[in-house]
Protein backbone atom coordinates (compact mmCIF):
# COMPACT_ATOMS: atom_id res chain seq x y z
CA UNK A 1 0.00 0.00 0.00
CA UNK A 2 1.33 3.41 -0.99
CA UNK A 3 0.60 6.53 1.09
CA UNK A 4 0.54 9.76 -0.92
CA UNK A 5 0.22 13.27 0.55
CA UNK A 6 0.58 15.55 -2.46
CA UNK A 7 -1.21 16.01 -5.77
CA UNK A 8 1.90 15.60 -7.93
CA UNK A 9 2.56 12.06 -6.69
CA UNK A 10 -1.15 11.28 -6.82
CA UNK A 11 -1.44 12.24 -10.49
CA UNK A 12 1.66 10.18 -11.30
CA UNK A 13 0.13 7.11 -9.62
CA UNK A 14 -3.19 7.62 -11.40
CA UNK A 15 -1.44 7.94 -14.76
CA UNK A 16 0.51 4.76 -14.14
CA UNK A 17 -2.67 2.85 -13.28
CA UNK A 18 -4.35 4.10 -16.44
CA UNK A 19 -1.27 3.26 -18.52
CA UNK A 20 -1.55 -0.31 -17.23
CA UNK A 21 -5.26 -0.38 -18.09
CA UNK A 22 -6.36 -0.82 -14.48
CA UNK A 23 -9.82 0.14 -13.28
CA UNK A 24 -9.90 2.49 -10.30
CA UNK A 25 -12.21 2.57 -7.29
CA UNK A 26 -12.39 5.59 -4.97
CA UNK A 27 -13.51 5.66 -1.34
CA UNK A 28 -13.51 9.24 0.02
CA UNK A 29 -13.33 9.44 3.84
CA UNK A 30 -12.54 11.88 6.63
CA UNK A 31 -10.64 9.20 8.53
CA UNK A 32 -11.39 7.75 11.98
CA UNK A 33 -12.21 4.62 10.04
CA UNK A 34 -14.59 1.90 11.22
CA UNK A 35 -16.28 -1.15 9.75
CA UNK A 36 -18.61 1.04 7.72
CA UNK A 37 -15.69 2.54 5.81
CA UNK A 38 -14.03 -0.84 5.45
CA UNK A 39 -17.23 -2.26 3.97
CA UNK A 40 -16.92 0.38 1.21
CA UNK A 41 -13.33 -0.69 0.57
CA UNK A 42 -14.44 -4.33 0.43
CA UNK A 43 -17.15 -3.46 -2.08
CA UNK A 44 -14.70 -1.44 -4.17
CA UNK A 45 -12.25 -4.34 -4.23
CA UNK A 46 -14.90 -6.52 -5.87
CA UNK A 47 -15.29 -4.15 -8.80
CA UNK A 48 -11.88 -2.61 -9.44
CA UNK A 49 -8.21 -3.43 -10.00
CA UNK A 50 -6.85 -0.75 -7.66
CA UNK A 51 -8.42 1.18 -4.77
CA UNK A 52 -7.69 4.76 -3.73
CA UNK A 53 -8.91 5.85 -0.30
CA UNK A 54 -8.71 9.52 0.63
CA UNK A 55 -8.39 10.64 4.24
CA UNK A 56 -9.07 14.34 4.60
CA UNK A 57 -11.05 16.23 7.23
CA UNK A 58 -12.56 18.83 4.93
CA UNK A 59 -12.90 22.21 6.68
CA UNK A 60 -15.30 23.74 4.15
CA UNK A 61 -18.15 21.35 5.06
CA UNK A 62 -18.10 22.22 8.76
CA UNK A 63 -20.32 25.11 9.75
CA UNK A 64 -19.33 24.63 13.38
CA UNK A 65 -15.66 25.29 14.17
CA UNK A 66 -15.83 23.26 17.39
CA UNK A 67 -17.14 20.25 15.45
CA UNK A 68 -14.15 20.56 13.12
CA UNK A 69 -11.72 20.78 16.04
CA UNK A 70 -13.15 17.77 17.86
CA UNK A 71 -13.62 15.54 14.82
CA UNK A 72 -11.65 12.36 15.62
CA UNK A 73 -8.32 11.91 13.85
CA UNK A 74 -6.69 8.47 13.99
CA UNK A 75 -4.40 8.38 10.96
CA UNK A 76 -1.95 5.72 12.16
CA UNK A 77 -4.74 3.29 12.99
CA UNK A 78 -6.56 4.16 9.74
CA UNK A 79 -3.54 3.29 7.65
CA UNK A 80 -3.13 -0.05 9.39
CA UNK A 81 -6.79 -0.92 8.80
CA UNK A 82 -6.55 0.02 5.12
CA UNK A 83 -3.38 -2.00 4.64
CA UNK A 84 -5.07 -5.06 6.16
CA UNK A 85 -8.15 -4.45 3.97
CA UNK A 86 -6.11 -4.60 0.77
CA UNK A 87 -6.18 -0.92 -0.19
CA UNK A 88 -3.75 0.06 -2.98
CA UNK A 89 -3.24 3.79 -2.37
CA UNK A 90 -4.12 6.22 0.41
CA UNK A 91 -4.26 9.95 -0.28
CA UNK A 92 -3.68 11.98 2.91
CA UNK A 93 -3.28 15.62 1.85
CA UNK A 94 -2.96 18.69 4.04
CA UNK A 95 -5.54 21.48 3.93
CA UNK A 96 -2.98 23.62 2.07
CA UNK A 97 -2.53 20.90 -0.55
CA UNK A 98 -6.28 20.74 -1.29
CA UNK A 99 -7.00 24.45 -0.86
CA UNK A 100 -3.88 26.41 -1.87
CA UNK A 101 -6.30 29.28 -2.23
CA UNK A 102 -9.91 29.73 -1.02
CA UNK A 103 -12.51 27.74 -2.94
CA UNK A 104 -15.31 30.20 -3.71
CA UNK A 105 -17.35 27.93 -5.94
CA UNK A 106 -21.06 27.77 -5.21
CA UNK A 107 -22.96 24.71 -6.43
CA UNK A 108 -26.64 24.76 -7.33
CA UNK A 109 -28.14 21.53 -6.07
CA UNK A 110 -31.67 22.83 -6.51
CA UNK A 111 -33.94 21.81 -3.64
CA UNK A 112 -31.75 18.85 -2.57
CA UNK A 113 -29.66 20.93 -0.16
CA UNK A 114 -32.50 23.06 1.21
CA UNK A 115 -34.06 20.37 3.42
CA UNK A 116 -32.99 18.33 6.47
CA UNK A 117 -29.19 18.59 6.86
CA UNK A 118 -29.10 21.41 4.34
CA UNK A 119 -31.60 23.46 6.34
CA UNK A 120 -29.88 22.75 9.65
CA UNK A 121 -26.26 23.08 8.47
CA UNK A 122 -26.07 26.02 6.01
CA UNK A 123 -23.17 25.67 3.59
CA UNK A 124 -22.43 22.08 4.58
CA UNK A 125 -23.34 20.50 1.26
CA UNK A 126 -21.60 23.19 -0.75
CA UNK A 127 -18.45 22.23 1.17
CA UNK A 128 -19.12 18.58 0.37
CA UNK A 129 -19.46 19.56 -3.28
CA UNK A 130 -16.14 21.41 -3.18
CA UNK A 131 -14.10 18.52 -1.78
CA UNK A 132 -15.80 15.70 -3.71
CA UNK A 133 -15.48 17.60 -6.99
CA UNK A 134 -11.77 18.08 -6.29
CA UNK A 135 -11.31 14.40 -5.46
CA UNK A 136 -13.20 13.23 -8.56
CA UNK A 137 -11.00 15.50 -10.67
CA UNK A 138 -7.76 14.38 -9.04
CA UNK A 139 -8.83 10.72 -8.96
CA UNK A 140 -11.01 10.13 -12.03
CA UNK A 141 -12.16 6.74 -10.78
CA UNK A 142 -14.41 4.33 -12.62
CA UNK A 143 -16.54 4.05 -9.48
CA UNK A 144 -16.75 5.92 -6.15
CA UNK A 145 -18.32 4.40 -3.05
CA UNK A 146 -20.50 6.10 -0.44
CA UNK A 147 -22.44 4.75 2.53
CA UNK A 148 -26.20 5.22 2.72
CA UNK A 149 -26.09 6.38 6.35
CA UNK A 150 -25.52 9.80 4.77
CA UNK A 151 -28.63 9.41 2.61
CA UNK A 152 -28.99 13.06 1.65
CA UNK A 153 -25.27 13.40 0.94
CA UNK A 154 -25.43 10.56 -1.60
CA UNK A 155 -28.28 12.33 -3.40
CA UNK A 156 -26.23 15.54 -3.44
CA UNK A 157 -23.15 13.77 -4.79
CA UNK A 158 -25.13 12.09 -7.57
CA UNK A 159 -26.32 15.56 -8.58
CA UNK A 160 -22.77 16.91 -8.29
CA UNK A 161 -21.53 14.30 -10.78
CA UNK A 162 -24.03 15.66 -13.30
CA UNK A 163 -23.01 19.26 -12.61
CA UNK A 164 -19.28 18.66 -13.11
CA UNK A 165 -19.90 16.14 -15.90
CA UNK A 166 -17.86 13.41 -14.23
CA UNK A 167 -17.82 9.91 -15.71
CA UNK A 168 -17.42 8.31 -12.28
CA UNK A 169 -20.26 6.00 -11.28
CA UNK A 170 -21.54 6.60 -7.73
CA UNK A 171 -22.10 3.32 -5.89
CA UNK A 172 -24.44 3.34 -2.89
CA UNK A 173 -23.55 0.92 -0.08
CA UNK A 174 -25.73 -0.21 2.85
CA UNK A 175 -25.53 1.12 6.40
CA UNK A 176 -23.26 -0.90 8.68
CA UNK A 177 -24.48 -1.10 12.28
CA UNK A 178 -23.18 -2.01 15.69
CA UNK A 179 -24.60 -5.18 17.26
CA UNK A 180 -27.14 -3.04 19.15
CA UNK A 181 -28.34 -1.30 15.97
CA UNK A 182 -26.53 2.03 16.22
CA UNK A 183 -25.31 3.12 12.79
CA UNK A 184 -21.52 3.07 12.72
CA UNK A 185 -20.05 6.57 12.65
CA UNK A 186 -16.72 8.17 13.42
CA UNK A 187 -18.58 10.47 15.78
CA UNK A 188 -19.74 7.54 17.95
CA UNK A 189 -16.30 7.63 19.59
CA UNK A 190 -17.18 11.07 21.01
CA UNK A 191 -20.29 9.83 22.85
CA UNK A 192 -20.26 9.69 26.63
CA UNK A 193 -20.95 6.30 28.25
CA UNK A 194 -24.57 7.22 28.99
CA UNK A 195 -25.25 8.69 25.57
CA UNK A 196 -23.72 5.65 23.87
CA UNK A 197 -25.86 3.36 26.02
CA UNK A 198 -29.04 5.14 24.94
CA UNK A 199 -28.19 5.90 21.29
CA UNK A 200 -29.51 2.54 19.95
CA UNK A 201 -33.01 3.80 20.76
CA UNK A 202 -32.79 5.80 17.53
CA UNK A 203 -32.68 2.77 15.23
CA UNK A 204 -35.06 0.80 17.43
CA UNK A 205 -37.63 3.59 17.10
CA UNK A 206 -37.22 3.73 13.32
CA UNK A 207 -37.64 -0.05 13.03
CA UNK A 208 -40.79 0.07 15.15
CA UNK A 209 -42.14 2.99 13.10
CA UNK A 210 -41.68 1.00 9.88
CA UNK A 211 -44.24 -1.50 11.16
CA UNK A 212 -46.88 1.24 11.36
CA UNK A 213 -47.14 1.70 7.59
CA UNK A 214 -50.72 0.88 6.63
CA UNK A 215 -52.03 1.58 10.13
CA UNK A 216 -50.85 5.15 10.74
CA UNK A 217 -50.52 8.10 8.39
CA UNK A 218 -47.21 9.83 7.65
CA UNK A 219 -47.71 12.70 10.08
CA UNK A 220 -48.65 10.39 12.94
CA UNK A 221 -45.58 8.21 12.36
CA UNK A 222 -43.32 11.27 12.33
CA UNK A 223 -44.83 12.50 15.60
CA UNK A 224 -44.54 9.05 17.19
CA UNK A 225 -40.83 8.74 16.37
CA UNK A 226 -40.05 12.24 17.65
CA UNK A 227 -41.97 11.69 20.89
CA UNK A 228 -40.53 8.22 21.42
CA UNK A 229 -36.93 9.40 21.15
CA UNK A 230 -37.46 12.68 22.99
CA UNK A 231 -38.87 10.76 25.94
CA UNK A 232 -35.29 9.64 26.60
CA UNK A 233 -33.40 12.23 28.63
CA UNK A 234 -30.15 11.65 26.73
CA UNK A 235 -31.55 12.19 23.24
CA UNK A 236 -33.22 15.09 21.43
CA UNK A 237 -34.53 14.92 17.87
CA UNK A 238 -33.35 17.73 15.63
CA UNK A 239 -35.61 16.55 12.81
CA UNK A 240 -37.34 13.45 11.51
CA UNK A 241 -38.73 13.61 7.99
CA UNK A 242 -40.42 10.98 5.85
CA UNK A 243 -39.44 11.77 2.28
CA UNK A 244 -39.49 10.59 -1.31
CA UNK A 245 -36.16 8.81 -1.87
CA UNK A 246 -35.54 10.55 -5.21
CA UNK A 247 -36.70 14.12 -4.62
CA UNK A 248 -36.06 14.30 -0.83
CA UNK A 249 -39.35 16.15 -0.54
CA UNK A 250 -41.85 15.33 2.25
CA UNK A 251 -44.54 12.80 1.40
CA UNK A 252 -48.20 12.88 2.40
CA UNK A 253 -49.01 9.26 1.58
CA UNK A 254 -46.81 6.20 1.25
CA UNK A 255 -48.70 4.77 -1.70
CA UNK A 256 -48.03 7.74 -3.97
CA UNK A 257 -44.27 7.07 -4.19
CA UNK A 258 -41.96 4.33 -5.46
CA UNK A 259 -39.57 4.70 -2.54
CA UNK A 260 -40.06 6.34 0.85
CA UNK A 261 -37.33 6.90 3.45
CA UNK A 262 -37.38 8.24 7.00
CA UNK A 263 -34.35 10.44 7.76
CA UNK A 264 -33.44 11.52 11.28
CA UNK A 265 -30.86 13.56 13.14
CA UNK A 266 -30.62 13.31 16.91
CA UNK A 267 -28.52 15.32 19.33
CA UNK A 268 -26.89 13.01 21.89
CA UNK A 269 -25.13 15.40 24.24
CA UNK A 270 -22.59 17.24 22.07
CA UNK A 271 -22.77 14.71 19.25
CA UNK A 272 -25.13 14.75 16.25
CA UNK A 273 -26.18 11.29 15.12
CA UNK A 274 -27.86 10.66 11.76
CA UNK A 275 -29.71 7.59 10.55
CA UNK A 276 -32.43 6.56 8.14
CA UNK A 277 -34.73 3.69 7.30
CA UNK A 278 -36.56 2.64 4.14
CA UNK A 279 -40.32 2.44 4.60
CA UNK A 280 -41.18 1.13 1.13
pLDDT classification of 30: cutoffs 50, 70, 90? very high
- For each of the domains in the chain, give its residue range(s) and CATH number, in order of start: 2-173 (3.40.50.620), 186-275 (3.30.1300.10)
The CA distances from residue 207 to 11, 32, 137, 213, 228, in Å, are 45, 27, 39, 11, 12
Predicted pLDDT at 199: 98
Give buried/exposed letters for 57-75 (b at 16+ CB in 10 A, else e): bbebbbeeeebeeebeebe
Is the predicted pLDDT of residue 20 greater than 90, yes or no?
Answer: yes
Residue range 112-145, pLDDT digits in tens: 999 999 999 999 999 999 999 999 999 999 999 9
Give buried/exposed letters for 87-122 (b at 16+ CB in 10 A, else e): bbbbbbbeeeebbeeebeeebebeebbebbbbeebe
Residue range 83-103, pLDDT digits in tens: 999 999 999 999 999 999 999
Active centre residues (catalytic): 37
Contact 199, 184 (CB under 8 A): no
Contact 71, 46 (CB under 8 A): no
Residue range 168-220, pLDDT digits in tens: 999 999 999 999 999 999 999 999 999 999 999 999 999 999 999 989 999 99
Is the predicted pLDDT of residue 63 greater than 90, yes or no?
Answer: no
Amino acid sequence: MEVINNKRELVASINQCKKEGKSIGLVPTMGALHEGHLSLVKEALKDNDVIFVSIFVNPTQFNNSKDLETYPRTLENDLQLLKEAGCSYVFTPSVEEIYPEPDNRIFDFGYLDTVMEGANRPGHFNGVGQIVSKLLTLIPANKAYFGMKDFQQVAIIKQLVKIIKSDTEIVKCPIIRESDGLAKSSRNALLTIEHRKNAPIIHASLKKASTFVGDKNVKDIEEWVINEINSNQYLEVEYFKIIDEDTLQPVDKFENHNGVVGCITVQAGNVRLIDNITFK
